[in-house]
Structure 1
């Protein structure tokens, strides 16, 4: 019977169901054994479960995670909350069967903030209690408790905002709880644009406290691994302006205390955080995925840090990045395991990209290449020609392994681009590109015929309307007839088609199982 399966088997099954919270929630009701095995999966990312996951049962959304965490708070933490009139419902001394905080693996501070906000609102509504919190009370409590549990007073920096004071009090106590429970926290995400400096400082404070406690613990001469030392994915969004310097401690703390980050996603960092970002990248033991978004990359330091991960980096992504006084991207060209390379809305030059397509490039596994809205810095014709030549060189160097190519380069400027794909990229499964005029369609037809493994073709066709159905009949028929297996999906964007038009009739009459999207 299923409920007699070994725990190891149940764990493997629930791991496959992890993204389907409704199924996991149903599993905990089958038997005690199933409940024990399934509960950790349900509480890995509890704040996402209640705020965004539409598959989550309504029962979970009503019974908020914070209520399950509160009984495990220390006595000093409970005292602080009571004396600040936080209606926690901590009168009962009975602990839940599971220590839910020990299962936490993902902490998104945005979702954490939302959960606390909803929790306070619900408690206020349920108990009709008006908070009576003052900075003086909080300051007194923190002074009394600081020698015991490291509580830090952040409230002196806040105006008389009862809601914000309550949120910070609850957040800090829960962060202490997560730290004391020592879960292996895999992902930490912080958006400073919404949360502000205090919320970052709380995380930095917990990090510093864990390290200092471990280092001075006579029972453990070897430092005790903290929950933050296990972080494998770190996501950080800065302000993108001169206020970024306030968040330098956050990047420095992760650099010092979390050396095992595999996935690093950084967005909107100004020049004030450039050096801490360089140090963060360089301090990691082996980054697999690096995503930089809206960052002004100046000089060579970023790529020098990336060079430390040439044996581990598989995914490099640059969104809305500008490159100033940068040398060619030799560091990327030396990444022997690079499989995904993405440039989107970024100003790059042919000179920067040159090492990627050179014969000495170590990139031999590239399977996904995305070039969307790329442009040279000065935009003159010579730069466009050089950029196009280097993109073609990348295709010639890596084309045999590329399975997915997404681009919207203007074929008028990128000469020989389609011909290069035809000759060098025979194993494409997914193609996405722009078509600017009718004259380019014969080349696209040849391209589609040459890709024997193609399954998805997405085309954004600029300027076409149903009046363009007057295109030569043989060309339209030729285009329609190549839509044969293994192609399963055809997406045509920005192309208005009338029901009387020839292309529409061709698409309808096709016998191949193609899904057409416009």
Structure 2
């Protein structure tokens, strides 16, 4: 099995034949580019597999560099079922005879004729390994074998494919576990030392399961010395032995602590009904303390409230390197803020799933008055459905300590006191998203005070007014809000209920020269609201370049094709809204971050 049958279409599979006897000599017509230049060219095609597969045929240099990108992340969500089977069959050729024998003993339909050695050691090229998609590929392969290698098993419809495969899950499950264990252990052993950089373990109730912890992960040993990204999203369910699974997760972190020292990105989010998992918290903190240069950290608050030193230990160990932090299920704000104040290079603070405090929470005191936060971006990304004075006080403390540094702010809990604090301490905000779940009658006055002096570029206003009293939402109400929007805003997000005629007046009263409008309410996806925005674009000399709806209108048919085409005469882009103010670091650290060492090795060999 070779690259000629991997990740290609059938026509490409017939045309490509990489064997050891392939003549790599450059033809006279082949452009003579240095390898460094070829590498930069192919980076532009790294997500286009069909183009990379064609580049394989040019010469040895183009082939090698194409393989760097083709095999960087072989198990992808976009991988089709048939191609995932070809991928697993390719990996089988790297198993030892003992491993092959073990598979044969436990898998009666095992393809025993797959023994040909591959031309290239493809495992050297793997940089990203996604365990969930790997196990899905294993499931595809076993389902294919159980259907007697029938190519008709894979239809053109992904939904039909998955329905067929998922019906086989009860039959295949134990075999999937065994094959995953054998092949992944081989993969970790052979590719880890050569540069596996990003490991993704994501819970999936069908594909991943709690079994993953029992076998695949605790055998990592010393196989991941070059790991820089680790995403671990897991869920402990009641139908498994909780204590056993907790022990296995703890063992995973303890084993990785011995060899993984240079993580730049760590995301560890474990869902469990009890929330507090102190054994995991202890192992995770010790793992974090061993990292030399951690930049991005996302974790649960696993530990008990009394273990307040946890935040200090995390922040102290990474006080020079930590730039972006994300916390799930926050409780102990006080200790968190104290710890983060020691991180001098912190840029982003993101808080998710904030819950109401216990009544015995110790209030903030004077010990933070002399401290500051260096954050430029503060996100609270889930709406709080209650008015919580404790949370208000801590938000005020964070805003106060951030002061003039703060540029990007997303608040899902807004009160008059928070608005006053923003006006007093944060004059440099350029990207603002605020969600109102209370104080509806005060919103126009609060925004008039807050917005007029800010150098805003993007502004999203969300008002939960679906079920609130409608008599207060007069045209004057909306006009006052519109007039408060600064001239500097170029992107406006609207996420509140407003009649189309009032929206028309709202846009007319808004003095900002908008280039982009995002409509987040589903009822706005119709020709009437489209026409309101088109009229706005006409009156503003077509300055508006882009309009986004909650759904893509051409996919759902709520707006006719003719209406869309007429609107595009005045608005160039009409499509689906993007997440507003989504934390920029959600774009994972690029892998490879720099020129891959495989290219350097290849060039050294050529020179030699």
What TM-score bracket applies, with the shorter chain setting the length? 0.7 to 0.9
2:331 aligned residue (311, 322, 332) = 322
Matches within 5 A, 1:45-444: 45-48=73-76, 52-53=77-78, 61=83, 64-91=86-113, 93-127=115-149, 163-178=172-187, 179-181=189-191, 182-191=193-202, 194=205, 195=208, 198-204=211-217, 206-208=219-221, 211=222, 226=223, 228-236=224-232, 237=234, 239=236, 242-243=242-243, 244-247=245-248, 248-268=250-270, 270-293=277-300, 295-298=302-305, 299-306=307-314, 307-323=316-332, 327=335, 329-347=337-355, 358-361=369-372, 363-364=373-374, 366-372=375-381, 385=389, 387-411=391-415, 415-435=416-436, 436=438, 437-444=440-447
Measure, in 2, the Cα distance between the counterparts of 1:353 and 1:344. Answer: 21
1:12 and 2:76 correspond: no
Offset of 1:192 from its aligned partner? 6.3
Measure, in 2, the Cα distance between the counterparts of 1:321 and 1:249. Answer: 25
The 8 Å contact of residues 322 and 346 in structure 2, kept in 1 or not, is answered as yes
TM-score between the two structures when normalised by the length of structure 2 = 0.65
Deviations, residues 263-322 of structure 1 (Å, cap 9, x unaligned): 222222623322222222222223212111363543124213312111111112111233
Alpha-carbon RMSD across the aligned residues, in angstroms, is 3.6
The equivalent of 1:492 in structure 2 is: 494
The 8 Å contact of residues 84 and 141 in structure 2, kept in 1 or not, is answered as no
Measure, in 2, the Cα distance between the counterparts of 1:8 and 1:94. Answer: 32
The equivalent of 2:569 in structure 1 is: none
Structure 1 residues 256 and 356, CA gap change in structure 2 (3 angstroms) = farther
Measure, in 2, the Cα distance between the counterparts of 1:40 and 1:245. Answer: 37
Find the residue that maps to 1:336 and give its secondary structure: coil
Structure 1 residues 464 and 375, CA gap change in structure 2 (3 angstroms) = closer
The 8 Å contact of residues 368 and 402 in structure 1, kept in 2 or not, is answered as yes
Structure 1 residues 14 and 59, CA gap change in structure 2 (3 angstroms) = farther
Offset of 1:391 from its aligned partner? 2.7
Matches within 5 A, 1:20-35: 20-21=48-49, 23-25=51-53, 27-28=55-56, 32-35=60-63
Structure 1 residues 512 and 265, CA gap change in structure 2 (3 angstroms) = closer
Structure 1 residue runs without a partner (length 5+): 129-160, 212-225
Structure 1 residues 308 and 344, CA gap change in structure 2 (3 angstroms) = same
The equivalent of 1:36 in structure 2 is: 64
Structure 1 residues 353 and 395, CA gap change in structure 2 (3 angstroms) = same
Q: Which has the larger displacement, 108-117 or 396-405?
A: 396-405
The 8 Å contact of residues 342 and 370 in structure 1, kept in 2 or not, is answered as yes
Structure 1 residues 354 and 280, CA gap change in structure 2 (3 angstroms) = farther
The 8 Å contact of residues 404 and 425 in structure 2, kept in 1 or not, is answered as yes
Measure, in 1, the Cα distance between the counterparts of 2:405 and 2:115. Answer: 61
Offset of 1:96 from its aligned partner? 2.8
Offset of 1:230 from its aligned partner? 1.5
Measure, in 1, the Cα distance between the counterparts of 2:104 and 2:148. Answer: 17
Measure, in 2, the Cα distance between the counterparts of 1:410 and 1:452. Answer: 20
